[in-house]
Chain A
């Protein structure tokens, strides 16, 4: 089947029910997206599909055929993603970093749909787990971004 990932077209051979995460990491070698739980519980595997965040471990690959997938490798090609990464650097959010590609994805999707989210909206969207406990830094970074104007 043909997949569109990070503005490129890939031809992959996989069963329809293969989790998108396996295809991204094992078949295509894009290992920036992480495997945490495989059960939609942690968010480490978050990617964007048509600009919305999905958990790749519970996304059958057949479901993204004909749609645009974005992974952490290409997130800075997106203007919102670029701002998110800059805020992450500024706030020095990452500790071990394992969960952070997923966190960046979740923040990017939130700000794409809701440029100036309320704290409640931030809390509802930023639910990925972080074993290092960087939640305060994440919240501060997203809070900053929420106050910015697009393009600022």
Chain B
């Protein structure tokens, strides 16, 4: 009697559990709907392919899916994640090792929803939470480009280093449900066409937030559009501080005009800054190829994002400083002998060629990672319109000790009105270890 009641109760309990498990299994392995389900991508006219090429530039696909010296889009880039390294895949139209067998709907599900054929979830290192906002037209064009504009390359994908059970992919579906957008960008009717175009590029293909928006506990971007205050508010990632792209006076674009944003994205430099760190790649491979109209739209949209004076701190103002009178300060001494030739005794740099350190984000942000990283490792080559840059920040890793770098950066971050705060030798030592290509735990600097 008791036994059978127990069995009956257990049965009643088990049923909803089974149903829930079934629903869960369905949810995490299901193929999301694609508007292209019934579409046979029969014709790839050249105009569509070249438009797709432009969308690929906007989206900077090449940054991850190509390796320098490798076949375009054959994959291979190693990306460090907290769980282990993963590798970008072959997205050439090769049928065996690439995506040659993908239908338009398959392609759409991978790009906008992070789901490969068979329901396998992609890691969100692929910025599909942003690409979800791509328009149907752009996805169709992108597909045409990858099928007809890219040479098939036979190159097998590399397995990830993530160990079992962490390498199970289904929980990503739950993460997607919580954090990823799942509808294309919808134009805001109260804004004009230029603003909306800028918003589309920034939030969607440009995936600016992947680096510039701070992330939450689940490594999710805290906001995916301008409705959230953390959107593009600046974030620490891969040993660099990606500054705010909002109108923050110190750490953002508050002092930049729309035209200066355009100039920066088109030529890699303006009177405030020169691209460095991970932005060098975004510039070399993506932003310089954007049309003037699109860059203007980006400038317009970014300048519409308000700053947050509370987060940003006291607005920076230039203050003259006699470096020569401070030579007993070891940081000032190092500055005069190592830095001043380019950045100037007055900290103002040289026009748009050598960036000013007075008022620089890296000298005003409390995160000192960018200042340390660029000093240790120098800048990568900037190639604008096919021409390599004339001037580059050299690496001081071999020339200056942790203490010397800490001293000179503390000086810079306190001179000319800068108020980023002192840098400790320990922070320099940590980043030195992480960014040393010979170390066993390097930060792979090319994450997105």
Contact = CB atoms under 8 A, between A and B. Distances in A.
B390 interface: yes
A59 interface: yes
Which of A19, A58, A120 has the most B CB atoms < 10 Å from its CB?
Answer: A58
Contact of B351 (A39, A55, A60): A60
B394 A39 contact: yes
Interface string A3-34: 00000000000000111000000000000000
B341 A120 contact: no
A59 B353 CA distance: 9
Task: Kindly name the residue among B336, B341, B354 whose own CB sees the greatest number of chain A CB atoms within 10 A.
Answer: B341
A39 B381 CA distance: 13
A152 interface: no
A127 interface: yes
A41 interface: yes
Nearest to A17: B390
B327 A120 contact: yes
A63 interface: yes
A40 B390 contact: no
Contact of B342 (A17, A18, A40, A127): A40
A58 B342 contact: yes
A84 interface: no
Nearest to B350: A63
Contacts of B337: 124, 127
B390 A19 contact: yes
A54 interface: yes
B192 interface: no
**Dominant SS among interface residues on chain A:** mixed
Interface string A28-72: 000000000001110000000000001100111011000000000
A92 interface: no
Nearest to A53: B341
A63 B394 CA distance: 21
Nearest to A124: B327
B403 interface: no
B39 interface: no
Nearest to A113: B324
B190 interface: no
Contacts of B328: 120
B390 A60 contact: yes
Contacts of B333: 124
Contacts of B392: 39
B391 interface: yes
Given A124-B327, A124-B333, A60 B350 contact: yes
A124 B336 contact: yes
B271 to A, nearest CB: 13
A79 interface: no
A1 to B, nearest CB: 14
Interface of B: 327-328, 333, 336-337, 341-342, 350-351, 353-354, 390-392, 394
22 contacts: A17-B353, A17-B390, A17-B391, A19-B391, A39-B392, A39-B394, A40-B341, A40-B394, A41-B394, A55-B341, A55-B342, A58-B342, A58-B354, A58-B391, A60-B351, A60-B353, A60-B390, A60-B391, A62-B351, A63-B351, A124-B327, A124-B336
Top-3 shortest CB links A-B: A40-B341, A55-B341, A127-B337
Given A58-B354, A60-B390, A63-B351, 10 more contacts: A17-B390, A40-B341, A40-B342, A54-B341, A59-B350, A60-B354, A62-B351, A63-B350, A120-B328, A124-B336
